[in-house]
Amino acid sequence: MKDYNADHAAAAAAAAAAAAAAPAAAAAAAAATATSSASSFSLGASFAAPSAHSLLTNNSSSSSSNSSSSSSSNSSSSSSTSPRAFFSPSSSPHYQQQQQQQQQQQQQLHSAATLQQQQQQQQQQQQQQQQQHEAVAARAASAWREEHKQQQQQQQQQQQQQQQQQQQQQQLDVSVLF
Instruction: Tell me how far apart the alpha carbons of residues 75 and 68 are, in angstroms, rounded to a whole number.
Output: 10
pLDDT of residue 142: 94
pLDDT of residue 150: 94
Write the single-letter amino acid at 155. Answer: Q
pLDDT of residue 155: 95
pLDDT of residue 170: 84
pTM of the full predicted structure?
0.34
Question: Does 39 fall in a domain?
Answer: no
Question: Does 10 fall in a domain?
Answer: yes
Q: Which residues of the chain have pLDDT under 70?
A: 1-91, 177-178
Instruction: Tell me how far apart the alpha carbons of residues 165 and 158 are, in angstroms, rounded to a whole number.
Output: 10
Question: Does 135 fall in a domain?
Answer: yes
How many domains are there within the chain? Answer: 2
pLDDT of residue 61: 45
pLDDT of residue 84: 52
Residues in the chain, total: 178
Print the domain residue range for 12.
1-34
- Averaged confidence pLDDT in the chain: 70
Question: Does 55 fall in a domain?
Answer: no
Question: Does 7 fall in a domain?
Answer: yes
pLDDT of residue 174: 74
Instruction: Tell me how far apart the alpha carbons of residues 132 and 140 are, in angstroms, rounded to a whole number.
Output: 12
